[in-house]
Amino acid sequence: MRANQRALISVSDKRGIIDFARVHAEHGWEIVSSGGTSRHLTEAGIPVRTVEEVTGFPEILGGRVKTLHPKIHGGILADQNDEGHMQELFEHSIYPFDMVVVNLYPFEQTVADGTVLFHDAIEQIDIGGVALIRAAAKNHQHVVVVTSPEQYGMVLKRINVWGFTDTERRQLAYEAFLHTAWYDAAISDWLAGHLGFPGFPDRMVQRLRKKHDLRYGENPHQAGALYEQPGLDCYTAANARQIWGKSLSATTVLDINAGIETVRELYPQLAAAIIKHGTPCGVGVGDSTLCAFQNAMACDPESAFGGVVVINTVVTEEVAEAICRQKVDAIVALEFSPGALEHITAKRAKAQTPLFKLGEVGVLTSNSLPPGMLNFKPVTGGMVVQRMDTEPFDWKSFRCVTKLGIKDRYWPDIMFGCKVSKHVKSNSVIVVWKERTIGIGNGQTSRIKSARLALEQASNIVEGQNMDLHHAVLVSDSFFPFDDCVRLAAEFGIKTIVQQGGSMRDQDSIKAADELGIAMLFTGRRMFWH
């Protein structure tokens, strides 16, 4: 080990760098630095050799080229156990580096608000810094690579016992390559945005930042963590802010996601969704938040036990009281009033029911999602990637195919039912009455089974309220392959059906509807959600 150690320091993020460099200088390290970092350290009284002094060559091209030089990269990349390498360094008066401390131009921060000029963003693409990091990470057996102020504490602990373990060096190298990979992916994402997010490229790099560990995955024996996409300024399950309660499991996160996407669809109406096992077991809108929640709960109170409640507006104390009468695993809302928070935290002190607030980035609307946003569904060894289903419904294109027409008073239920059906696991059939679900059949392998589940549930609800299903609307997420769903719906009193259409046997369903006095609407749009 050489008596004098040598560090190259060139950082954009200067947090903590003065103290870090000073400790090294006090321990006899020679510090080489460039540009603004050199001035920053010199002003703090820390002795520094500039890159220009080492290379004998000035910065050129407005600072674009300063560290890209053999006397820098040769000192970083030399295998200090290789006699040939060391002889070459001697012949060219190149001295080895033992540490490289570099972080990169703040490209992400520069482009974050979307107003920066293209040329200015290009100037924030770091070239020399990336090369330095990669060179040091490649040669981590001899060169310690430091890429974040968060690493300074660990590195300084080693200063008095100089000699990083192989594991520590590899860990820092791993973090270095991750740092540059993230940086490059951020640039490619930005350029993709300027190209209108073109198609599905041959290769895709997905950037995800860890938000926190989960209590467990889908089951207690599975570890799990929640990651989020950076830079999104819209409400998602990943960026919802927990304000109280215990940590989450993966299943609760997935339910929260399903609930947010369901109520997002229903804005500007006040809406509530109760989610169980990734699918709604009740959805409702209303003139008040309380009414919306009660309408959602009334659909299936039994299944709602242990579900997740998501509301696209403010939870008041009155609503909080209603929610707390039921066991729920999490409550998500745009905001909670002080009275609501006090009530829930008192009533749920033992259960520590997680509370999530969404009210920091605008309103919860379907068009708040970024254009071209992708949806990812994992498969073993890969991923299905598709565009988010944010295409608005073209209500004017819906086509009545029966002798009996659709009455105007049913259109609010038709529109509500189609929006909700998108978020119910297929095969899905739902029954809607007064803009609330009263029957949900989902996840079945045949459509007739889903229809039976939905109709039986709806029948039980209306029976208890001295109603019938003549004024309810049945909505299917796809076409009817046979006329059996139409005939089953008629047995329960349904008079209005909405389905995709497009089956080879559409005429059978149309004929049955005409015989049974049912109005049927074809949407021309499938709404599967697996």
Pairwise CA distance, residues 337 & 17, whole Å:
43
Tokens of residue 480, six digits: 């009817």
SS3 annotation, 10-68: EECCCCCHHHHHHHHHHCCCEEEECHHHHHHHHHCCCCCEEHHHHHCCCCEHHHCECCC
Could you give the CA distance from residue 264 to residue 368 in angstroms, rounded to a whole number? 9
Q: Rounded to 5 degrees, what angle do the CA atoms 92, 96, 100 make?
A: 135
CB 241 within 8 A of CB 226: no
Integer Cα distance of 61 and 12 in angstroms: 19
Q: Are 361 and 235 in contact (CB under 8 A)?
A: yes
* Complete DSSP assignment for 378-432: EETTEEEEEE-S-PPP-GGG-EE-SSSPPPGGGHHHHHHHHHHHTTSPSS-EEEE
From 415, 420, 465, select the one nearest 272 (Cα to Cα). Answer: 420
How many other C-beta atoms are found inside a 10 Å radius of the C-beta of residue 376? 12
**Residue 149, token pair as written in the block:** 């102020």
Q: What is the CB neighbour count within 10 angstroms for residue 249?
A: 20
Cis ω before 219 (30° cut-off from 0): no
Q: Are 286 and 302 in contact (CB under 8 A)?
A: no
| Given 85, 138, 246, 471, the catalytic residue | 138
**Three-state secondary structure string covering 435-473:** CEEEEEECCCCCHHHHHHHHHHHHHHHHHHCCCCCCCCE
For 371, phi and psi rounded to 5 degrees?
-60, 135
Strand order of the β-sheet with 307-315 is: 241-244, 355-357, 328-336, 307-315, 270-276, 279-286
Q: Considering the candidates 211, 246, 277, 347, report the single residue annotated as catalytic.
A: 277
The span from the first CA to the last CA of the chain, in angstroms, equals: 60
- For residues 15 and 21, give the distance between their C-alpha atoms in angstroms, rounded to a whole number: 11
212 assigned to active site: no
- What strands, in cross-sheet order, belong to the sheet with 496-499? 399-400, 519-522, 496-499, 473-476, 429-432, 437-441
- Is residue 277 part of the annotated active site? The answer reads yes
> What residues act catalytically?
138, 277
